[in-house]
Structure 1
Amino acid sequence: MLRTLPLLLALSLPAAAHAAPPAVIVHEGQVVRKEPPPHGAIGMSTAYRISDAAPNRTMEFRKRILHKGAAIGLHPIAHDEVYYVLSGQGEVTSDGVTARLGPGSAAYLYTGANVGIRQLGDEDLALIIAYPVIKP
């Protein structure tokens, strides 16, 4: 029994965990820029590339405001992606199927789909966009 005790103690002790890097705190005002939306430069948008401030990240987390008449043009995606609507109205397209989105709704888009979203109405369309970083 004494011979197995050190082994049992060693098995019950937690392995030394790798320390996570410290949290990165980003205020959207630090990462804001006016630019045409990606995938076609249709109209104008305000972009908040929030996750760009996080080194060695494995996901992208962005806020984008599509101004009147603006759109993220149709483009194929190589990862799952989520568009979450904070305010305004929009129309999302995935592989030729189009649906309206409003505040509190999300579109979960799948790898390999051809997707895009456009602003509708008079109010800006504010979105959160999240997807994994694809490393080469």
Structure 2
Amino acid sequence: MRPAAVLLAAWAIGAPALAAPPAVFVNEADVVRQERPPHDGKGMSTAYRISDAAPGRTMEFRKRVLHRGATIGLHVIDHDEVYYVVSGQADVTSDGVTRRLGPGGAAYLYAGANVGAVQVGDEDLALIISYPLPPKS
């Protein structure tokens, strides 16, 4: 039975609903670090590993700032993934097609695609990156 169906069935028979874990609240200043961009990227970045603070999580949610000239190297993804531009400019590539994105622009990238991003322009590129984690066995 799907989770929504289980909750509906529990409600229908008056059983208590399954309790969600308590919320995790994160201040990005508590999870920041300087590191090379992922996937053999070039340059330097500031990573805000926001979802790392959530035990038992099923998704990643990160902010990454690519500094001038930095890149997230091309890599094949095994899950859908979203790059959302908060500030700056990005050239985002998916399977050889490159598109320039600015603030408010998003790229929905599909499993199996070869993807990457390049900071362009004078301003650092701030991205939100989110994707599901593989199920725990």
Q: Same fold (TM over 0.5)?
A: yes
The amino acid across from 1:120 in the alignment is V
> Runs of 4+ in structure 1 displaced over 4 angstroms?
none
> Could you say which residue in structure 2 is the equivalent of 1:106?
106
Aligned identity (percent) is: 72
How big is the shift at 1:70? 0.2
After TM superposition, give the deviation of residue 12 of structure 1 in Å.
Answer: 4.2
| TM-score under structure 2 length normalisation | 0.89
Unmatched runs of 5 consecutive residues or more in structure 2: 1-9
Gaps of 5+ in 1: 1-9
- Over aligned residue pairs, what C-alpha RMSD do you find? 1.5
Displacement of 1:18 in angstroms is 1.5
User: Aligned residue for 2:68?
Assistant: 68
Superposed, which structure 2 residues align to 1:36-55 within 5 Å?
Answer: 36-55=36-55
Aligned letter for 1:99? R
How far 1:134 moved relative to its partner?
1.2
Aligned residues: 127
Based on CA coordinates, which of the two structures has the bigger radius of gyration?
1
- For the residues of structure 2 that align with 1:50 and 1:122, how far apart are their CA atoms? 26
Equivalent AA in structure 1 for residue 32 of structure 2: V
Q: How does 1:1-136 map to 2 (within 5 A)?
A: 12-135=12-135
Q: Deviations over 1:1-29 (max 9, x none)?
A: xxxxxxxxx98443322110100000000
Label 1:12 to 1:72 Cα distance change in 2 as closer, same or farther (>3 A).
closer
Distance of 2:76 and 2:41 partners within structure 1? 16
For 2:62 and 2:42, locate their aligned partners in 1 and report how far apart those are by CA, in whole Å. Answer: 18
